[in-house]
Amino acid sequence: MIPRLETERLLLREWRAADFDTLAGFYADTETMKFLGGVMERNDAWRALSATIGHWHLRGYGTWAVERRADGALVGRVGMINPEGWPGLEIGWTLGRPYWGKGYASEAAEAAIRYAFLTQPVDRLISCIDPDNIGSQAVARRVGESKGAFTHLRTGGQNHPVDIWAITRDEWLRRTAG
């Protein structure tokens, strides 16, 4: 059910049970989770992965496991997020710290944006980014998103400040035509 996408260096693929230990390690890392609600214990990481897989079944889309093609390393997750109450169809990314600064997030996010605009009837995609998350803001700029309104997202019983970054279908078409 989960389609595979390939980029020059990455494979966006279905989740496997063997991915859990690596993903739980990413979710346990303070720096990786600094802007994503804080570290998760293993049992919470399991529930998060289960929700990620369930998202595909409930919505027909979700986030992919992102694998580096050169060696099969799981580098993170990237894809479409739209849980109940979300402000729109989000393109989100979370990479493990060892994989930051290599362009993987932008490469995978561009593939996810393409897939989203080709398969979903939306005129706009968003990314919800903490105002202090300079790294994710840079990714958003690289994939053609612009900073929009400030708001708070309510998740896990807490309010999280975010800027809504967005790219419209027309903006994406202009980028891909050039």
| pLDDT tens-digit map of 104-134 | 999 999 999 999 999 999 999 999 999 999 9
| pLDDT tens-digit map of 59-101 | 999 999 999 999 999 999 999 999 998 999 999 999 999 999 9
Domain that holds residue 119: 5-177
Question: Across the chain, what does the average pLDDT equal?
Answer: 96
Secondary structure, 3-state, the chain:
CCCCEECCCEEEECCCHHHHHHHHHHHCCCCCCCCCCCCCCHHHHHHHHHHHHHHHHHHCCCEEEEEECCCCCEEEEEEEECCCCCCCCEEEEEECHHHCCCCHHHHHHHHHHHHHHHHCCCCEEEEEECCCCHHHHHHHHHCCCEEEEEEEEEECCEEEEEEEEEEEHHHHHHHHHC
Q: What is the average per-residue pLDDT within 23-48?
A: 95
Q: How many domains does the chain have?
A: 1
pLDDT at 178: 72
Q: Residue 107: which CATH number?
A: 3.40.630.30
Instruction: Calculate what percentage of the chain has a pLDDT beyond 90.
Output: 94
The pLDDT of residue 156 is above 90: no
